[in-house]
Amino acid sequence: MADKSLYSNLDNSLQSFGGGLGTITILGSTTTLGNANNQFGSQVVIGEGSKLIAASSASKGGLFRIETVTDVFTVDKVRVDAVGLLAINTATVQQNANLMSDVRVNGAELRNLNGDLEIATQTNATLTANTNSFAASAVGGAGSNTSVILGSDNRILLNNAELSGQDVKLLAGQTRDRVANELHSTARADMTTVALFGMSVPVVSNVLAENNLVDLQGSTSVRAVRHVDMVAEKGIGSERAKIDGLVLNIGLIPYGFEPTGTLVDLSTNLVKMSDKSTVEAGMNYLTEIQILPLLINGESKLAEDRLGKTLTDAEKLALKLDKSQQYEYAPLDMEDVSMGVSTGTIVEAVAGAFGKGVAGQYYEFAPGSYKDESLILEKEDYTDTKRWKEVTPDHQIDATTANLGVSTGETVRTQTGQWARRTGSATTVSSATDFSGTGWTEILSLKSDKGYQFAMKLSDDFYVVKPRSVAL
């Protein structure tokens, strides 16, 4: 930040008064802020090998912002007054500001795992140069040289850099809130010459040159879960550079005019990419969820204390996961597992594993027409007669069963809980009978706690690798 206005904002920076038979007065002020080889302003440089990573909970998100702002306010006023038979005055003000607001990332990695990555560069500059001269004489002359040069470079330079975030915003010539550069320069010349023979000569110039640049060099990679914004836009204002003032010459031939001169307002705005750089938005299309075993052949594949922890880059690489995304190890907590049933399926109600019903009772799925469904058996209402009906096997097979007569259409339940219906002619069976053979139709039968037991088994034997932002 630079502020040169303490004395000149309300008064003159330099002032001179001369009187006599003949006076020649030359008074000038020069203000220089930076040059082509050493610009004035703010800069952030992140060097090769640096890793800046913001990690936070998915619910809160993380903040990762790099922002540079250059703020300059200068006012220079020079006044020269002279009275005499011969009076010649010259007032000069020169302001040269070569400004920068830069972020440079060279071979570094910047990542926000659960939030936006924002890089912004902006400049606010107001330059005012004013010359004021007065001459009263028989023969007089007044001259002024008022010059303003305001150069503003706002650059984001990425060379072999890796950037990633939920949204990635690269804003050159703007703040992260999209407030653009505010650049204003004024060159003013006020001259009054009172003489029989007099001349007033103002020389005024005002050049404003703005350069906003986003430059992806080398093999730079920019990746975002959602959006990538790369913006370089002209600063605000329709009349940013202006020439002002008034010239009066009072003599034998009086005249007056408003000074003119060189006036330039130039804005160059570029977003550049090398042929090796890449920009990718919506990178979560490659998000993976992996279910992996805790043990293989008795060998532990994940230490228990790693559950709930974030994967390292090496662990992501081993699992062929995108290292720019945040993954975690999570227990496989399965509360409900649906089981497939169809018309005719028989479910045995197990105590504590049904919504409504009678423990030990058998229920046949009978919705009124043939139908396949996936049901959470331990939460079913087996008293709903629109879906279920109570059934009892015609014969219960046990270890002592021998020469038991079974008629066509009758059902049997084996020692293992399997059900079958006799479709062939009447026959006799024993505990050793194969009920899957000819003349028999197996009936799908399940215990109401089968889904629950399956969920518990999976939870004990497996774990999940998932993005932290994804809930199970």
Q: According to the model, what pLDDT value does residue 458 have?
A: 78
Measure the CA–CA gap between 237 and 283, rounded to whole angstroms.
37
Sorted by sequence, the CB contacts under 8 Å of residue 120 that are 6+ apart come out as 65, 66, 67, 68, 103, 169, 171, 172, 174, 175, 176
Residue in the block written with tokens 């396949």: 372
User: What is the tens place of the pLDDT at every residue in 9-57?
Assistant: 778 889 888 877 778 888 999 999 999 999 999 999 999 999 998 877 6
pTM of the model: 0.66
Q: According to the model, what pLDDT value does residue 58 have?
A: 56
Pick from 96-100, 115-119, 306-310, 440-444: least confident: 306-310
With DSSP H G I counted as helix, E B as strand and the rest as coil, what are the percentages for the chain, rounded to 5? 5, 60, 35
Contact 119, 155 (CB under 8 A): no
Percent of the chain with pLDDT over 70: 98
> CA 320, 325, 331, 337 torsion: positive or negative?
negative
| Radius of gyration from C-alpha coordinates of the chain | 43
Of 151, 158, 183, 160, nearest to 66 (Cα)?
158
Of 41, 36, 273, 324, nearest to 157 (Cα)?
273
Measure the CA–CA gap between 323 and 302, rounded to whole angstroms.
19
pLDDT at 471 over 90: no
Measure the CA–CA gap between 419 and 404, rounded to whole angstroms.
16
Q: According to the model, what pLDDT value does residue 60 have?
A: 64
Contact 68, 9 (CB under 8 A): no
Partners of 204 in the β-ladder? 146, 261
pLDDT at 337 over 90: no
Structure tokens at 31: 């203000």
Contact 99, 46 (CB under 8 A): no
The residue-averaged pLDDT of 329-335 equals 82
Q: Chain-wide mean pLDDT for the chain?
A: 90
User: What is the tens place of the pLDDT at every residue in 192-205?
Assistant: 988 888 888 899 99
pLDDT at 373 over 70: yes
> Which amino acid makes up residue 56?
S
Measure the CA–CA gap between 50 and 48, rounded to whole angstroms.
6
pLDDT at 363 over 90: yes
Pick from 44-53, 420-429, 455-464: least confident: 455-464
pLDDT at 171 over 60: yes
Contact 79, 11 (CB under 8 A): no
Sorted by sequence, the CB contacts under 8 Å of residue 450 that are 6+ apart come out as 339, 377
The residue-averaged pLDDT of 63-79 equals 95
The residue-averaged pLDDT of 71-91 equals 91
Question: Exposure of 182 by Cβ count < 10 A (0-12 exposed, 13-18 middle, 19+ buried)?
Answer: middle
Q: According to the model, what pLDDT value does residue 259 have?
A: 93
Type and span of the H or E element at 318: helix 313-318
> Which amino acid makes up residue 414?
T
pLDDT at 161 over 90: yes
User: What is the tens place of the pLDDT at every residue in 380-403?
Assistant: 999 999 999 999 999 999 999 999
User: What is the tens place of the pLDDT at every residue in 275-293?
Assistant: 999 999 987 656 788 888 8
Q: According to the model, what pLDDT value does residue 397 have?
A: 93
Measure the CA–CA gap between 242 and 185, rounded to whole angstroms.
7
Pick from 74-78, 140-144, 211-215: least confident: 140-144
